[in-house]
Amino acid sequence: MALPSLTLLGQSLLSGLFIGALYGLLGLGLSLSWGMLRQINLAHFALAFLGAYLTYQLAGAGMDPLATLAVIVPCFFTLGVLMHWLLARFSVSTFNSLLVSFGLTVIIEALIQWIWTADFRRMESAYGEVKFRIGALYVALPELLTLALAVALSLLVWVWLRHTYTGKAMRAVAEDAPIAAAFGVNVRGLSLVLSGLCAAFAGVAGLCLALSYTLAPGQIYAWLGVVFAAVMLGGLGNPLGPLVAGIVIGVSEALTMAFTAPAWAPLVSFSLLIVVLLARPGRI
C-alpha cells in the first residue's frame, strides 16, 4: 500500500467534506421528522431524487438550476404536509411509518422510472463548469453550493428551534405532544409545518444531487445507509447533528478510499452506525 501524496490527501479530505455536507443536507429532514414527529421517513430519499429529476427537467427547459427551487420548494412543502396529514389521520406508529414510507419510496421510484426511464441522466449546467483553485486543490462550484446550503439550512433550523417562540413550541411538541397541546400549542399545525419543511429540505437536497451526480432511479437506495448513519450519529432531532456527523463520515470515507480501495468505503458508515447502535443505543 503506497501512501498517497499530500495533494491527493488534501483533495480527498476536501471531497469528504463536501460529500459529508450532502449527507448532512439529506439527513436534516430525516432527523427532524424522526426525532420530532417520530416518523421514520424512508421516502425522504425518494423525494430528494424526485427533486433532482425535477431540477434536471426544469433546467433542461432553460431554467437556472437555483431558480428551480422557487417551484420545487413550495410543491414539496405541500407534499410533506399531505404526507403527515395521512400518517396522522391513521395514527401510524413509528415502525409502521417506516413501512408506509417504504411503499411510497417504491411508488416514487416507479414514477421516476416511468417518466425518465432507468437510464442515467446528467444535468448540464453552467455551474458544473466553474471551478476554483486553492493552492494545488480544486473546488467545484456545485460542491461549494451544497456545503453552503447545508450549513445555512442547518443553522436556520437550529436558530428557529432554539430562539423563536414557535421553535420552542415545536420542541415541546417533540417532547410530549399532549402536554404541549394542553398548554395551548397547536400540535397539529406545527407538525404539519415541520413535515412540510422536511420535504422541502429533501427538494433542496435534490437540487444538490442533480448538480453533482448522475441520476438513476436505483440510486435512491445507495444513500440510505450512510445518511441513516449520519442521522443517528448526530442525534435524532438535532438540527446540527446530521451535518457534523455527515462530515465526519464523509471525511472518514474519503480517507478510507485514499488509503485502501474505493469499494471499501461503505464499510465506514455502516460500521460507524453499528458501533453507535451497540455502544450508545440510549441516545437514539
Give residues in contact with other proteins (CB under 8 A): 40, 86, 90, 92, 94-96, 98-100, 102-107, 109-111, 113-114, 221, 224-225, 228-229, 232, 261, 263-264, 266-267, 270-271, 273-274, 277-278, 281-282, 284
CB of 260 to other proteins, least distance (A): 8
∠ CA 176-179-183, rounded to 5°? 130
Nearer to other proteins, 43 or 72 (CB): 43
CB of 70 to other proteins, least distance (A): 29
Q: Sign of torsion, CA 259 260 265 268?
A: negative
Q: Sign of torsion, CA 218 220 224 226?
A: positive
CB of 17 to other proteins, least distance (A): 23
Nearer to other proteins, 15 or 97 (CB): 97
Element of type H or E holding 163: helix 141-163
In 114-148, which positions are buried (b, 16+ CB within 10 angstroms) versus exposed (e)? eebeeeebebebebeeeeeeeeeeebbbbbbbbbe
Nearer to other proteins, 113 or 252 (CB): 113
Nearer to other proteins, 24 or 217 (CB): 217
Nearer to other proteins, 61 or 91 (CB): 91
CB of 137 to other proteins, least distance (A): 28
The tally of CA atoms less than 13 A away on the side-chain side of residue 12 is: 18
CB of 189 to other proteins, least distance (A): 23
Radius of gyration of the chain (CA): 19
